[in-house]
Structure 1
């Protein structure tokens, strides 16, 4: 299974939606809150190539974008290719 990381904040509604979708699709993820751990801001900027909005979602270290890109990837069938689901 691919490693999924989501950079988020506690007040971002799109972060909540992205996490809810990942949970609904049974895709485990690691959440990194950049609002409660300021030391992660430098890491966030580096791994997302300077992104300025959250959520930012990484699959195996590759930034796929935010909530919109996550849902588009799922609707186009590309998410299953990136994240091998258990039992498939």
Structure 2
């Protein structure tokens, strides 16, 4: 199971961009489509404290925010331990 979850929808351009970047950075993730599954939408609301925008990225059960926060975390080296093949 991946340590990173990306909550999003199928029509969100930033959701797509987030997934592309995570793949580029070789960070494994699980995608959770909140537009297709009501239970996923309930989980999204609970985990993200009722966030109103997507994508929302959750790392090790902690919501870090969206695309901007993800790129900032990467620039600060915060994703280094999540790169495929590393343990953390």
Please indicate, yes or no, whether the TM-score normalized by the shorter chain is above 0.5: yes
Measured on the aligned residues, the alpha-carbon RMSD in Å equals: 1.8
Q: Which residue of 2 aligns with 1:41?
A: 41
Which whole-Å deviations, capped at 9, do the CAs of 1:11-56 have from their partners, x for residues lacking one? 0000000000000011111000001112211110000011110000
Does the alignment pair 1:50 with 2:50?
A: yes
Distance 1:21 1:66 in 2: 13
Q: Which residue of 2 aligns with 1:86?
A: 85
Q: How many matched pairs?
A: 87
TM-score of the pair, normalised by structure 2: 0.88
8 Å CA contact 1:8–1:55 kept in 2: the answer is yes
TM-score of the pair, normalised by structure 1: 0.88
8 Å CA contact 2:2–2:29 kept in 1: the answer is no
Structure 1 runs (4+) deviating above 3 angstroms are none
Q: Which residue of 1 aligns with 2:25?
A: 25
